[in-house]
Structure 1
Amino acid sequence: YESSVVQYFTEKALKQGIEQGIEQGIEQGIEQGIEQGIEQGICESIQEVLELRFQPEAVRRLAVRLGAIDDVQRLKRLHRAAIQVPSLEAFKNLLDADE
């Protein structure tokens, strides 16, 4: 009898641990998805601002570099810079200096 009680509680604890692990994994996945969505949105905004202000073809060549940035604060700084810089070359210099 004693071993079946121990086995029952062991299985129950294991099941509870697995469920908690799954919940944490789902939450972490959702958070990462939200973060990536924010990054992608800011990145697209940067490109749009630059394309409106400068040569769209030259801006498109920056898309891969901008897409590789995974720091929301850095992307926000670059978005503000995209609005204010006098030239695309000045923006590229900021992009290089910030790396």
Structure 2
Amino acid sequence: MESIKSAAESGNNDHQLNCYGIVFPEFCDTYYGPHSVECLTTIWQAKGCLSEGTKAPDKLDTAEKNALDLLHVNQVFTKFETVRMEADGGDKDKGLECYGIGL
């Protein structure tokens, strides 16, 4: 089992899928944090949010970035998807966070 986990974290897509249930997004080297800004940005954009958003990963303060580092990749996907869904549902604050505009 350790060899599967090691292979997964070395970039083997099949082992990532078997071990964690997903293939790591681009720039994501591990399932658990810390996550690079590039990794978080890939997930942010995959969920439909824009770099103009006020909570885009490259705009986060240290505390917000550290909080994301406590999450695993699937939890980051869920968190970012929730922001986008709430923005699309009419939440103006989430619209600013996700798209950089109040909808």
Between structures 1 and 2, the one with greater helix share: 1
TM-score over 0.5 for the alignment?
no
Provide TM-score, normalisation by structure 1. 0.39
Provide TM-score, normalisation by structure 2. 0.38
Larger radius of gyration: 1
